[in-house]
Structure 1
Amino acid sequence: MEIRASTVLPARRTDIELHTADGLTLVGELAVPESRPPVATLICLHPLPTHGGMMDSHVLRKAANRLPALADLAVLRFNTRGTSSERGTSEGTFGDGVAERWDVAAALEYAEYHELPRPWLLGWSFGTELALRWGRDPAVEGAILLSPPLHRATDEDLDAWAEFGRPLIALVPEFDDYLRPDEAKKRFARVPQAEVIGVPGAKHLWVGEPYVRIVLNEIVKRVNPAAAPLPTEV
């Protein structure tokens, strides 16, 4: 069977709740391999909720639909404060990337409490800002950034990540609306361990199965290289 955009592969999927230090309950889902423990964990930080971003934004949903089965990864997705999806609505209101620091902390705390191994942050657009600003937790193994705008995240945040020392991989579409590969390489140059990968033909929203496959393969190459490249049929 060819893996298509709508393919959902077997996994154990559980509705979860995250509890923030400022008293909110956030809704989410954890997907883990069906019959074996995960080798690593993706904590997904979704695009801007005021422009339709949520835990079901398509690349993150496809990661949860495929990577537990294909790459033995746990995939934790959740709605940041005030964000709605089919799973439900998280309490609170949009915090413009500031109050969301508590949302990131709650996801990391959940992963630690449930002994999810080797957490990596997977941020997309607005989610990349959350990863860079609030994801420098000792438990975090690294971060993968999809379409980073570097709007809310500043050079000071990049310098802090450089000092943090963990891997930082940025996948930057050739035709991104906010930050394109050449400029991204200049901005990320202040992070010695950063790797910027320009993706020819891609746009900010990664529409199209070929681009989704590129993204998922690049994720797996870093997080569980033994499972790369991903198959296109099962």
Structure 2
Amino acid sequence: MSEISPNDETATPPEAEPIRGATELPAVRENIELHTDDGLTLVGELSLPESGHIAATLVTLHPLPTAGGFMDSHIIRKAAARLPALADVAVLRFNFRGVTSPRGTSEGSFGEGTLEELDLAAAMDFVRERELPHVWLLGWSFGTEVTLKYGLQHPITGAILLSPPLHRATADDVAAWAGNDRRLVAVIPELDDYLRPAEAAERFSSVPELEFVAVEGGKHLWVGETQTYRVLTEVVERLNPVVLPLPRTWPPESPSVV
């Protein structure tokens, strides 16, 4: 029996299935290494759109290593699993120094949010070497501290802060983002464990250009598909809004023809 080519118009298209927590959509995925100026090797992954068209690049900075944060923290893992296919976004994720995940262990030990400056620089060196376009940082919790303190050192389009606790980032670190052409987006959960919208609005008031997003019912860890979908939508709204709304099934369901 002869095989049916995927391009054969008589072939039955695959049935669309809901996108769930464990869904991994098609992408070109590469295990990569980053090299810091203090001699460490960090492990990570680069996920690229299969189409070859990259609308924007997302460099992800994960939550606190000493509280279990790593490159597979679920929002970051799901961004890498979905956004190359759904939004033509390249996603770079990696373990900060001393952090272990199924991908492997990055050399070194926890840098208290200071030595991680070098980890971010290594990621940005990699992005530059690969000539990845329109770079955004996505920091989550501890990752937002690294973003706020050191993100302005690099040629980025903007940064998205997901559940910023503002523990290590100072008022001066925040104020430094005012008056420049790098966009800053703060996504604040209504029920955050550390920084809720009212206090966040006050502490970010030094940045009048800030795009402030308060998420009703949101929590620090963004557990569940509803919260995941909201976070990824906020990301894509900045990186490639023409593809919104994000599909909830794969393959995406075609609109009905009347």
- Whether the TM-score (by the shorter chain) exceeds 0.5 is yes
Alpha-carbon distance in 1 for matches of 2:210, 2:80: 25
Q: Name the SS for the 2:191 alignment partner.
A: coil
Provide the identity percentage. 61
TM-score by length of 1: 0.98
Structure 1 residue 94 corresponds to structure 2 residue 129? no
Q: Is the contact between residue 54 and residue 85 of structure 1 (CA under 8 Å) also seen in structure 2?
A: yes
Pairing partner for 2:77 from 31, 52, 61: 61
Backbone CA RMSD of aligned residues:
0.9
Q: CA deviation at 1:162?
A: 1.3
Q: Is the contact between residue 56 and residue 85 of structure 1 (CA under 8 Å) also seen in structure 2?
A: yes
Pairing partner for 1:197 from 213, 237, 243: 213
Partner residue in 2 for 1:140: 156
Q: Name the SS for the 2:153 alignment partner.
A: coil
Between 27-36 and 136-145, the greater mean CA deviation after superposition = 136-145
Q: CA deviation at 1:137?
A: 3.1
Q: Deviations over 1:42-100 (max 9, x none)?
A: 00000000000000000000000000000000000000000110100000010100000
Structure 1 residue 175 corresponds to structure 2 residue 191? yes
Structure 1 segments of 4 or more deviating over 4 A? none
Q: Is the contact between residue 124 and residue 154 of structure 2 (CA under 8 Å) also seen in structure 1?
A: no
Q: Is the contact between residue 166 and residue 193 of structure 1 (CA under 8 Å) also seen in structure 2?
A: no
Q: Name the SS for the 2:247 alignment partner.
A: coil
Structure 1 residue 45 corresponds to structure 2 residue 61? yes
Q: Is the contact between residue 135 and residue 156 of structure 2 (CA under 8 Å) also seen in structure 1?
A: yes
Matches within 5 A, 1:5-16: 5-16=21-32
Q: CA deviation at 1:37?
A: 2.5
Which AA in structure 2 matches 1:170? A
Alpha-carbon distance in 2 for matches of 1:43, 1:139: 12
Partner residue in 1 for 2:40: 24
Equivalent pairs counted in the alignment come to 234
Structure 1 residue 158 corresponds to structure 2 residue 187? no
Q: Is the contact between residue 162 and residue 188 of structure 2 (CA under 8 Å) also seen in structure 1?
A: yes
Pairing partner for 1:218 from 210, 216, 234: 234
Q: CA deviation at 1:138?
A: 4.3
Q: Which consecutive residues of structure 1, in runs of 5 or more, have no partner in the other structure?
A: none
Q: Which consecutive residues of structure 2, in runs of 5 or more, have no partner in the other structure?
A: 1-16, 251-258
Structure label with greater radius of gyration: 2
TM-score by length of 2: 0.89
Q: Is the contact between residue 221 and residue 229 of structure 1 (CA under 8 Å) also seen in structure 2?
A: no
